[in-house]
Every structure is written in structure tokens, then in C-alpha cells.
Amino acid sequence: MADFGVETWLMHGSLLGWWWNQKAADLGAKILPWDSDVDVQVTEASMHILASYYNMTMHHYETLRFPQGRTYMLEINPHYVKRGIEDRLNVIDGRWIDTETGMFIDITTVRRNETAEAEGIEGALMCKDEHHYLEKEIFPLRQSLFEDSHVLVPYAYVRILQEEYGNKALTNTKFQRLVSFYPIILVLPS
């Protein structure tokens, strides 16, 4: 989305996958095998740009991994303008959809948290999925690599991951009945 002047960064499960990718980089770690999508975040101003100029547009990208390229459709949810958390069916503000496979990248918008600001919390941000941040936890963004691609990640990524997933998510190699010793995944018997 940098081509559109839109800054985007990894969040949620993809940020956790990035964390483990960094920990096991020498072993060829990739996206968490149980994660079914990629999650990124943008600012409210960036979401307005995407909605105003790029909604329902098709984009073809060629990469080292896909030299023939892939075509993606950018779809912005018309409810992206609703800032509250009441509408649980519309917490995803946009999606990049692979037109060949149907796989997608979820885009959520981080917004000023006016309620928290009214209570005196400076730099309070939120998403419609009820995640709350401070501006200094996200910005300035850090440059990194994920899946052999240049990405941005939040400044205080450890704190954000601990808040969303708990401390064990950064140390425990087991998830439900899966044990991950990158790059091998074992399924434990019931």
C-alpha cells in the first residue's frame, strides 16, 4: 500500500507470527501454520484514502515468490466510517483479496480513542475490535522482514503482543494440540 502513500503495519496474529519468525529465523520460520489470514493496520486518514480512491480496484503484483504475479482486489467495508465497537459484524474495515485463491489480508483501522482522551489519556488509540493502544506503542514504526518481504511493525511490539495474547504467547511453543519446532509442526494425540 506504500504505492498509494498509505503506511501499513503488521498486527494481531500476523504480528505474533512475525515475532516467532524473528525467534526462529535461522530455521526458516514462516506465518503461523494455524493462522488463516494476514492482519495489517492503517490510520484512519489512510483508510479514508483507500476508501475514496481505491475501493473495489484490482492490482497485480509480481514478487520473487510469484514471478508470474498475483491479482488482488481491494475491498473497503462501507461501515469503516463507524467508529464505535457496537457493530461486532463490521470490525474489519477492508481486505486485500487474492482473486485466484480467495485468501485475504484483513485491514483494520486504528483511531483516536475519544473516550479515553476525555478521561485525560493522551495519545489513546483504539480499533473497533476493542483493542486499545497508546500512540507511543505504535509509532514510530519499525522496519523489519516477514516472509522475505519488507514490513513495518509497531514500536512497542512486545507490549502489544503481551496485551493481546498474554506473556505465554511469546514463550510457549505449543498451541492447542500443535507443537511447533520451526519448521516442523507436530500434531499431538488427543
pTM assigned to the model: 0.85
Instruction: Give the 3-state secondary structure of the chain.
Output: CHHHCCCCEECHHHHHHHHHHHHCHHHCCCCCCCCCCEEEEEEHHHHHHHHHHHCCEEEEECCCCCCCCEEEEEEECHHHHCCCCCCHHHCCCEEEEECCCCCEEEEEEEEECHHHHHCCCCCEEECCCCCEEEHHHHCCCEEEEECCEEEEECCCHHHHHHHHHCHHHHCCCEECCEEEECCEEEECCC
Q: pLDDT tens digits, residue range 95-136? A: 999 999 998 999 999 999 999 999 999 999 999 988 999 999
Q: pLDDT tens digits, residue range 126-160? A: 999 889 999 999 999 999 988 778 899 999 999 99
